[in-house]
Amino acid sequence: MKPSFWTNYHSHSHYCDGREAPEAQVRAARQQGVRAFGFSSHGPVPFANAWSMKPERLEGYLAETRALQQKYQGDIELYVGLEVDYVPGLCGPGTYAHALDFTIGSVHYVDQNWEGQPWEIDGATEGFMKGLVEVHGGDIQKVLRRYYALIREMVEQDPPLIVGHLDKIKIHNLNESLYREQDDWYQAEIDHTLEVIAAAGCVLEVNTRGMYKRNLDTYPSATILKKVLARNIPVMLNADSHAPEEITARFAEAAGVLQAVGFRTLRVLLDGTWQEVPFDQKGLFL
């Protein structure tokens, strides 16, 4: 039996809205059989929000995580990244890329809310519904088209290495109360977006946070993952952990979903090289 291991490149700490210090994440990652681990706090944004790193903490974040990278050399591979918001004209993956080993690009905001501020579509459903009704007249199709258009715009104009939680906006669609994923217009948005991601050569993450926080399926859904496989877009498994105990949460189950879809390898950053590694529900193996 070949020894198996996990990787997770999407993790938060007390530098943003995660719990505990980066080193506590590293210790937990080692205990959970992680061989390569990426720090990816929410990068600073040039407007007020409750969960991103404050701009004045960025330098300390980079210094502390780079020091950990040295300290744990030969023990666990550590990579320094950020999850960067794409907000046109304000910030995107390229903003900090020069200082990092990798970037995760995520769309957490769609244009403006009722107060003219960036409209957060990643938070409480109450705020999402208020924006949907007051700014968009309840037109969910218009909002989703705009959400996926922003992801395409990011990938085309300011591509990250990794595209974050592709269909996370579905957190507001419990029991398909707002839209049906199988509808033609929605699948057309997905097809178009995957086409753009494939052309740009980005890695798509399969993110388990909805599984362990909200009892949802993977981001993105298995129906989307079938299209991802058909387009040969590389995928990686990420937890989007906000606490040490979440670093490999629901990975076995998500790996099973990926196997069932037909994936046989995952994209990882190991020994400083991006490579495809086979996996099963116990982990990756070389």
Give residues in contact with Zn ion (CB under 5 A).
83, 106, 240
Closest separation in Å from C-beta 41 to Zn ion: 9
Rank residues 64 and 205 by Cβ distance to Zn ion and give the closer one. 205
Closest contact distance (angstroms) between CB of 73 and Zn ion is 26
Dihedral sign (CA 129, 135, 137, 143): negative
Complex with Zn ion: residue 210 or 272, whichever CB lies closer: 210
Beta bridge partners of 34: 6
**CB nearer to Zn ion: pick between 77 and 83:** 83
Q: How far is the CB of 13 from Zn ion (least distance, A)?
A: 11
Residue type (1 letter), 82:
L
Q: Give yes or no for a contact between 148 and 190, defined as CB atoms under 8 angstroms apart.
A: yes
| β-bridge mates for residue 163, sequence order | 105, 204
Q: How far is the CB of 214 from Zn ion (least distance, A)?
A: 13
CA distance 274 to 24: 26
Report the chain's terminal Cα–Cα distance, integer Å.
11
In Å, how far are 33, 267, 273, 274 from 36, measured between CA atoms? 9, 12, 11, 12
Give whichever of 124 and 188 is closer to Zn ion, judged by the CB atom.
Answer: 124
Pick from 121, 96, 126: which is nearest to 110 by CA? 121
Min dist CB 1 to Zn ion, Å, is: 33
- Residue nearer to Zn ion on the CB measure, 106 or 173: 106
Give the three-class secondary structure for 36. Answer: strand
| Contact criterion met (CB below 8 Å) for 183 and 145 | no
Comparing CA positions, the residue from 123, 95, 97, 88 lying closest to residue 108 is 123
Question: Helix, strand or coil for residue 274?
Answer: strand
Closest approach, Cβ 42 to Zn ion, in A, equals 7
120 or 240, CB closer to Zn ion?
240
Q: Which one, 84 or 284, has the nearer CB to Zn ion?
A: 84
Q: Which residues pair with 252 in a beta bridge?
A: none
Q: Shortest gap between Cβ of 137 and Zn ion (angstroms)?
A: 27
